[in-house]
């Protein structure tokens, strides 16, 4: 274990000064403080009592306003807390974005928080551990959308397959002119869903009919997509919309414009909350099991923690990833293409 004596030696200073720096007390020359800080980082210093009480799990929440109100985050977090409380862990919430989430910062934060491990709720490229992250040997699970293949443990939605399945369903019920409404490239989930969409069309030898890509993924953006699409000469007979807010806005605006779903157009979307099922025309959707993913992530994390307790010497565990295939729920926003159309 590293003590302040080690830090004092490494920083060429005394335990008194180290103690002062640790506790943020005034009266240490900036250069000295800097040396001490560096030594603490290098030697992974943590006060003795923090080493002793590691009963907390840190949950990293995407750092934007009202983040917890998103159904996606709320449901995952709900699964995490329900499970962690049962296991006797406390949950410590922390905001994060890619900038403060490189492996070094992450490790230091976990130490500072006396955390037994961490759960990262991933969203898009802004709220994701940086690409070169390697979390091996650090108990962690990333939950949400897939990031990369190795060096991290993840529970993620198979967005590619979800996009593929949604599209395949539309093809199977006879549609040949299928468009897509999506969020711009920053978002990993939307991107993978689009790729799945393209793959399904390719296999069926169909062209993309209309592809609308929006700057944000809100209800209002969905509304504007509907205005755009229905002001064209022709529109597709079916549409994949890559998240629920876009789909809700789209469907509401379509209705205002006198378009009937599913008579005039079929829509498949991806849902997080109960909302799509409660609209005037309940929507056909790929259903994300966010709550269960939170549970699964917490269980996986606990396994890691237990394992790392058992064999301190054990080499790096191979990364542990679980891909989740999500089901299609057919409701009223889709229908078979009428064979003969004038």
Partner DNA sequence: CTGAAAGCGCTTACAG
Q: Footprint of DNA on this chain (CB under 7 A)?
A: 1, 3-5, 12-20, 22-23, 25-33, 47-48, 52
Tell me how long the chain is. Answer: 342
The entry of DNA, its own copies, none that residue 94 binds, CB within 5 to 8 Å by partner kind: its own copies
Give me 220's structure tokens. 């209002």
Report the greatest alpha carbon distance in the chain: 88
* Separation CA 48–CA 51 (nearest Å): 5
- For its own copies, give the closer residue by CB, 5 or 338: 5
* Separation CA 299–CA 293 (nearest Å): 10
Residue 193, number of CB atoms within 10 A of its CB: 30
Among 2, 32, 71, 108, binds its own copies (CB under 8 A): 71
* Separation CA 181–CA 183 (nearest Å): 7
- For its own copies, give the closer residue by CB, 47 or 151: 47
62: part of which helix (H) or strand (E)?
A: strand 56-62
- For DNA, give the closer residue by CB, 6 or 216: 6
- For DNA, give the closer residue by CB, 21 or 80: 21
- On the question of a cis peptide bond just before residue 262, with omega within 30 degrees of 0, the verdict is yes
Among 77, 221, 226, 240, binds its own copies (CB under 8 A): 77
CB of 194 to DNA, least distance (A): 51
CA separation, residue 331 to residues 261, 262, 267, 281, 282 (Å)? 11, 10, 10, 8, 6
The entry of its own copies, DNA, none that residue 259 binds, CB within 5 to 8 Å by partner kind: none
- For DNA, give the closer residue by CB, 22 or 329: 22
What is the C-alpha R_g of the chain? 25
Segment lying near its own copies (by CB under 8 A), choices 59-67, 152-160, 323-331, 334-342? 59-67
- For its own copies, give the closer residue by CB, 66 or 205: 66
Q: What angle do CA 36, 42, 45 make, to 5 degrees?
A: 75
Contacts of 195 (CB under 8 A, 6+ apart): 160, 163
Among 34, 51, 68, 131, binds its own copies (CB under 8 A): 68
The entry of its own copies, DNA, none that residue 71 binds, CB within 5 to 8 Å by partner kind: its own copies
Binding residues vs its own copies (CB under 8 A):
23, 47, 49, 52, 56, 61, 63, 65-69, 71, 74-75, 77-78, 81-82, 85, 90-95, 113, 219, 248, 252, 274-275, 278-280, 291
């Amino acid at each position: 274990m590293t003590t302040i004596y080690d830090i004092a030696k490494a920083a060429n200073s005394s335990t008194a000064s180290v103690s002062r720096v640790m506790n943020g007390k005034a009266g240490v020359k900036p250069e000295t403080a800097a040396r001490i800080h560096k030594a603490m980082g290098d030697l992974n210093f943590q006060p003795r009592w923090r080493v002793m009480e590691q009963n907390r799990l840190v949950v990293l929440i995407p750092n934007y306003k009202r983040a917890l109100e998103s159904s996606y985050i709320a449901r995952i977090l709900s699964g995490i807390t329900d499970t962690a409380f049962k296991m006797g862990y406390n949950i410590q919430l922390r905001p994060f974005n890619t900038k403060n989430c490189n492996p070094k910062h992450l490790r230091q934060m976990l130490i500072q928080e006396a955390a037994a491990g961490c759960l990262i709720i991933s969203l898009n490229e802004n709220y994701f551990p940086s690409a070169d992250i390697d979390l091996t040997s650090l108990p962690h699970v990333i939950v949400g959308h897939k990031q990369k293949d190795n060096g991290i443990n993840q529970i993620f939605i198979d967005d590619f397959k979800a996009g593929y399945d949604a599209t395949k369903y539309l093809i199977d019920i006879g549609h040949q002119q299928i468009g897509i409404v999506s969020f711009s490239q920053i978002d990993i989930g939307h991107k993978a869903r689009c790729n799945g969409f393209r793959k399904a069309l390719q296999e069926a030898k169909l062209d993309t009919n209309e592809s609308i890509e929006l700057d944000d993924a809100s209800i209002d953006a969905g509304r504007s997509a509907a205005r755009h699409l229905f002001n064209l000469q022709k529109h597709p007979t079916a549409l994949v919309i890559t998240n629920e807010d876009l789909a809700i806005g789209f469907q509401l605006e379509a209705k205002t414009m006198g378009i009937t779903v599913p008579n005039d157009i079929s829509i498949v979307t991806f849902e997080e909350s109960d909302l799509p099922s409660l609209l005037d025309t309940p929507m056909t959707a790929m259903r994300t099991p966010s709550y269960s993913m939170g549970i699964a992530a917490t269980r996986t994390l606990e396994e890691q923690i237990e394992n790392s307790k058992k064999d301190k010497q054990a080499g790096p565990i191979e990364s542990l990833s679980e891909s989740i295939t999500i089901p299609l729920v057919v409701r009223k926003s889709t229908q078979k293409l009428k064979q003969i159309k004038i």
